[in-house]
Structure 1
Amino acid sequence: MSLLAAVVIFVVGFVSGIVVRAVAGLAAIIALLLVVFGVAAPDIGLVDFIVTQYYSGNELLFLAGLLFGLDANNTREVVVER
């Protein structure tokens, strides 16, 4: 994996974490409703291509970015306080 691919995957995880933090409650309710009604995500070729090319095998890097994104606001407050 190139450095650029690693940075892009981390940034995507980071942005995902920020978005998840912003709309987590709504996303959880929608996800629960989709599961209850048995609605699956549509088969989109571009999403499948991205997942198979870049995401598979890089789950931990994505997760690291996601967790940094979720905690970004708290981290910023702690740094400002110090």
Structure 2
Amino acid sequence: MRTRTLNISLPERLVEALDRRAQAEARSRSEVIRAAALSYLQWWDEWRTLQAYGRRRGRRLGVRPRGLERLIAQARTERPVRR
């Protein structure tokens, strides 16, 4: 895999946390940052896919965004929250 070097600014506490994680996993700081960036990008893709699914289901069921908020509120009052 070809790589590029980037210069980024991070808060000192974040750098310290990255270094602790890298040491705990016997990895380099770059490897930890690379894994975190990849994880974020994968999460974002999954989130967008889930949103698209929700929009499709909503259209099929005839639910509009305002109606969805009402349905959620209704469902929350019908089912007690378990903690």
Alignment TM-score > 0.5, same fold:
no
Give TM-score, length-normalised by structure 1: 0.34
Q: Of the two structures, which has the highest relative contact order with CA contacts closer than 8 Å and spacing of 6 or more?
A: 1
Give TM-score, length-normalised by structure 2: 0.34
Structure in which a larger fraction of residues adopt helix: 1
